[in-house]
Amino acid sequence: MSTEQVTSQAPRSFGEALSRLRQNFKPRARLATWRLRLVFGLTLMVFSEIVVWQNPVARQWYEWLVLAALYVALGSFLLDLIVRFQVHTPAAIGLACGVYGLLSGSIVNHGAYHNVPIGLIVRVLGLQVGAAFLALMLFLYVMRGKTPPLLAVGAAALVGVAWGIWTAWYPAQPNIRWEVPLRQTAYLYLIVPFVGLGALYAFFMPRFEVLRELNVSLLWWEMIACGAPLFFSLLIGIANNTIPALELLLPAAIFAFCLWALRFQQPESDPSILARITFSAPSLIAYVLLVAPLIFFGILAFDATSGDLFPVGTLLYVIVAGFGSAWLPFASGLIFWTVLRTEYPARRKKRVK
């Protein structure tokens, strides 16, 4: 290529360079996708901070603004991960939620460093991974615009019962030393965020629009925009010792393993689970059918949990710990078994031929 051709392709002025840069950014074309990411990130925040109860009453108002930015970044990365690896099987969904849970528990709420390794198992691999799965399922059911099945409504009621027991029982444990919320305070922290989320789903989300699945993937500048707050949060945590550098190695290793295991997905066979919401039609009825049982049974369980029912809290703790211990080996084993059952015989046949 000649020097004249290179010069002709180069921008002639700062305005032209800025115009080209804006075309690469495509900010207007990405508005619908960012509205999707914003609401999904706030849904994750409600589940990760309130439904699994990370002592939200101790937060200052300005901390919620920082948390909102961090959870929107986490939600954007989770959606990108689902599309990039075409996550569609239960095992792959578990690994994707595991990536989110490890980032959330390590960088945002620091549950991974409480009573290691029990805190990592219970508060990160148990609660945060479960929160990611519940938020993702709520997001998908509402955005599909269809009435959720009775099984999903029953599961939402069980989540409400678990919230009520956990919120009344867990902060009272001697090694936790959190403030046990008053009845009215617990009700407000459960009801108000879900009402706000319902308003966002009803009036803020893109409606009756076709959203290409690949548009949910992050562009290079979006990766920088989402990675920056998480990176600075990590640096600040290490600097003030709320994130112990040595204890960070274990969740980082599990995080790397989850990403590595996701590479063994079979992306050519099916689209990701987000293909179900290619046509954006958020349903307020679906939202109410899932959230109302959670709130109703959550309030009943919180009122019923007293000193006589504290063993029920211990049972719930054991269930969460069992889930946090079992899902990773089960999900990764299932993926690798599928690979051995499909790819290995195919390669063996090729060698024989």
pLDDT band of 353, cuts 50, 70, 90: low
pLDDT at 333: 93
Task: Report the percentage of the chain scoring pLDDT > 70.
Answer: 86
Q: Decide if 302 contacts 167 (C-beta within 8 A).
A: yes
- The least confident of 2-6, 256-260, 268-272 is 2-6
Query: Does residue 70 have a pLDDT over 60?
Result: yes
Per residue in 2-28, pLDDT (tens digit) is 444 444 444 455 555 555 555 555 666
- Per-residue pLDDT at 8: 44
Tell me which H or E stretch contains 280.
strand 279-280
> What is the arithmetic mean of pLDDT over 333-347?
76
Q: What is the pLDDT of residue 19?
A: 59
Give the model's pLDDT for residue 116: 85
The pLDDT of 88-116, averaged and rounded, is 94
User: Does the model's pTM come out above 0.85?
Assistant: yes
Any alpha helices (H) in the chain, and if so which ranges?
A: 3-9, 14-25, 31-45, 61-84, 90-103, 118-119, 129-144, 150-169, 183-203, 220-239, 249-262, 284-304, 310-352
* Per-residue model confidence (pLDDT) at position 271: 85
Distance from C-alpha of 295 to C-alpha of 187, rounded to nearest angstrom: 9
Three-state SS at 240: coil
Beta bridge partner(s), residue 201: none
Q: What is the mean pLDDT of residues 177-199?
A: 94
Task: Give the other-Cβ count within 10 Å of 20's Cβ.
Answer: 11
Angle at 205 between CA 105 and CA 152, to 5 degrees: 60
Q: Taking residues 304-318, what's their average pLDDT?
A: 82
Taking the CA atoms of the chain, what radius of gyration do you get in angstroms?
22
Residue 213's DSSP bridge partners are none
Among 108, 102, 107, smallest CA distance to 127 is for 102
Structure tokens at 131: 């929160």
The Cα 132–Cα 93 span in angstroms is: 10
* 198, 205 Cβ separation under 8 angstroms: no
Place of tokens 């600097």: 239
Contact assessment for residue 328 and residue 98, using Cβ atoms and an 8 Å cutoff? yes
pLDDT for the residue numbered 352 = 52
* pLDDT at 69 > cutoff 60: yes
Query: Mean pLDDT in the chain?
Result: 88
Segment 205-227 mean pLDDT: 86
> Using 50, 70 and 90 to split pLDDT, how confident is the model at 279?
confident
Residue type, 328: L
Average pLDDT over residues 201-206: 90
Residue 221 has which token pair?
Answer: 């500048």
Q: Is the pLDDT of residue 192 over 70?
A: yes
Q: What angle do CA 36, 233, 261 make, to 5 degrees?
A: 65
Distance in angstroms (rounded) separating the CA atoms of residues 239 and 309: 41
Average pLDDT over residues 107-119: 91
Mean pLDDT over 205-211 rounds to 80
Tokens representing residue 241 in the block:
């010792």
Copy the structure tokens of residue 19: 């115009």
- pLDDT of residue 104 exceeding 60, the answer is yes
pLDDT of residue 270: 72
